[in-house]
Amino acid sequence: MDNAIKDELAVDECWIVEREKLVEVVKSLGYDVLIDVVGVDYLGMENHKGKRFAVIYCLKNTKNMARVRIKVQVEEQEKIPTLSKIYPIANWQEREVWDQFGIVFDEHPNLKRLLNHVDFEGHPLRKDYPAKKRQWLSENDQMQDQLEKRLETLGYRVL
């Protein structure tokens, strides 16, 4: 692992990787399951050195049951390359991280809100989002575009 630094604070295996080298490192590891993508906001944390946000990828190898965590630190304006070309599940997990923290994933196929509704403004799990601010929704968004795409891949013709 030339591209990664071992995280001294972590108990188990955790590596800190630069965001430009993320795809390269994940490919060279060759782990077959992406378990989770987690966002962290370090705003206002004592003794924190480094950038404001972090994205943590939990990976698992089902052949020898090894687990590893990969941590990418990122500032508010910076973008992280998407892993959705390697792991299809990363599509939705990265959408969730973007929805809750506002971390932008570069070349993501469909960076839309996943948990919050379509009229929502801001990113609720950021530390500077007011905890009791409520945003009403009057009309649901249509899922038509995704549904039609999926129907077409299954061989149906959309009229």
Question: Could you list the residues that contact other proteins (CB under 8 A)?
Answer: 115-117, 124, 129, 131-140
Residue 100 Cβ vs other proteins, minimum distance, rounded to whole Å: 10
- Which of 32, 68, 69, 75 has its CA nearest to residue 52? 75
Instruction: Using the minimum distance from each CB to other proteins, give the nearer residue, 69 or 123.
Output: 123
CA distances from 155 to 107, 110, 146, 151, 159 (A): 27, 21, 15, 6, 13
Instruction: Using the minimum distance from each CB to other proteins, give the nearer residue, 33 or 137.
Output: 137
Instruction: Using the minimum distance from each CB to other proteins, give the nearer residue, 24 or 141.
Output: 141
Residue 145 Cβ vs other proteins, minimum distance, rounded to whole Å: 18
Q: Coil, strand, or helix at residue 133?
A: coil
Instruction: Using the minimum distance from each CB to other proteins, give the nearer residue, 31 or 98.
Output: 98
Instruction: Using the minimum distance from each CB to other proteins, give the nearer residue, 2 or 139.
Output: 139
Regarding beta strands 4-6 and 14-17, do their DSSP bridges make them parallel or antiparallel, or are they unpaired? antiparallel
Residue 113 Cβ vs other proteins, minimum distance, rounded to whole Å: 10
Give the bridge partners for 57, in sequence order. Answer: 37, 70
Query: Which residues make Cβ contacts (< 8 Å) with residue 154, sequence separation at least 6?
Result: none
Quick check: 101 and 53 in contact, CB under 8 A?
yes
Residue 144 Cβ vs other proteins, minimum distance, rounded to whole Å: 16
Quick check: 93 and 114 in contact, CB under 8 A?
no
Residue 148 Cβ vs other proteins, minimum distance, rounded to whole Å: 21
